[in-house]
Amino acid sequence: MKKEIHPADYYRRMLAMQPHALKRLEAFAKIMACNRGQEIPNSPGPAGHWYYVIIGAVRRCAMRSDGRRQIVDLMLPRDFFFVSDRQNEATIEAIADETVLASFPGRRVELVAESDVEFARELRDVAFQSLTRSQAQLLIIGRFTALEKVGSFLLSLDARVSNASGQVVLPVSRYDIADYLAVSVETVCRALTHLKQRGVIRLAGKRTIKILNRRALEDRIGESSTVASV
C-alpha cells in the first residue's frame, strides 16, 4: 500500500511538538521528504547541514576493504546527523519507505553558537549524541558471537524506538541489520529464529518483534555458546 504523503506543514508541526536542541532555529529549517534509497547529498562548504530525523530512518555507509558495505551509523527519529563536503568517503541515504528530515543550514547554526553560550552547549550535546551512537555500535559488533550481536542490537533498538506495548518495530531490513553488525543476512535470520524458538522473542510481523524474555538477552543472550557458529 502506497504511503500517504503529507504537506510540509504537517511535518513542520510534528517538528514543533518534538523536543530537540535546535528548536530556536526551526524557522530556518527546511523540511525534506525522502524516498527509500534516496541519497542525502554532501552539502557544499565546510559548514554543511545539520539534519534531524522526524520520521523514518537514515544510514551512513562506508565500503570495506573487501568491497562489502558497512553501516557505520544508523539514525532514527529524534536523532541528529551532520553532512558536509568533507565526508566524501561515506554515503548517507534514507532507508525507510517514509523518511522526513528537518535540515538546518550549518552556517546559521555556527553563527548562533558563536553568540549564544547556552546554544553552543546544546550543539555540543548534539555532537556527543553521534559519538554515543558510534560507541554503542562498537560495543554491539564487538560481541563474541553473532547471537550476542543480534540480541544486543534488539536491546539497543528497544531503548531507542520501542512503543508503549514493548514491541520493537524494526526500522531497517534484515540486510541492513547484517551490514550494521558486519555479519551475513543468513546469520541474522538464524539468530532471530533461534531467539524465537527459545521463547526470547516473538515475531509479531515482518518488521515487528516483541521481546518476551529481556533477562535472556541481557544475560549474554541466554546459552549463546550453543550457536557460536551461527
Kindly state whether residues 129 and 25 are assigned to the same domain: yes
**In terms of pLDDT, which residue wins out, 7 or 191?**
191
Whether the Cβ atoms of residue 200 and residue 213 lie closer than 8 Å to each other: yes
Residue 5 pLDDT > 80: no
| Cell 510534528 sits on residue | 14
Residue 106 pLDDT > 60: yes
Kindly state whether residues 79 and 162 are assigned to the same domain: no
Residue type, 88: N
pLDDT score for 17: 93
Q: How many domains does the chain fold into?
A: 2
The rounded mean pLDDT for the chain is 85
Kindly state whether residues 111 and 151 are assigned to the same domain: no
Helix (H, G, I), strand (E, B) or coil at 152: helix
pLDDT score for 70: 87
Kindly state whether residues 22 and 126 are assigned to the same domain: yes
- Residue 99: strand pairing partners: 34
pLDDT digits (tens, 9 = 90+) for 117-176: 999 999 999 888 888 898 888 889 888 888 899 999 998 888 887 665 668 888 888 999
The mean pLDDT value for 170-183 works out to: 90
2 within some domain: no
230 within some domain: no
Residue 1 pLDDT > 70: no
Residue 224 pLDDT > 90: no
Q: Report the CATH number that the domain containing residue 160 is assigned in CATH.
A: 1.10.10.10
pLDDT score for 99: 94
Kindly state whether residues 61 and 154 are assigned to the same domain: no
pLDDT score for 88: 63
Cα distance between residue 82 and residue 38, in whole Å? 17
Q: Report the CATH number that the domain containing residue 130 is assigned in CATH.
A: 2.60.120.10
Q: Which domain holds residue 174?
A: 145-224
Kindly state whether residues 155 and 135 are assigned to the same domain: no
Whole-number percent of the chain with pLDDT over 70: 87
Kindly state whether residues 118 and 152 are assigned to the same domain: no
195 within some domain: yes
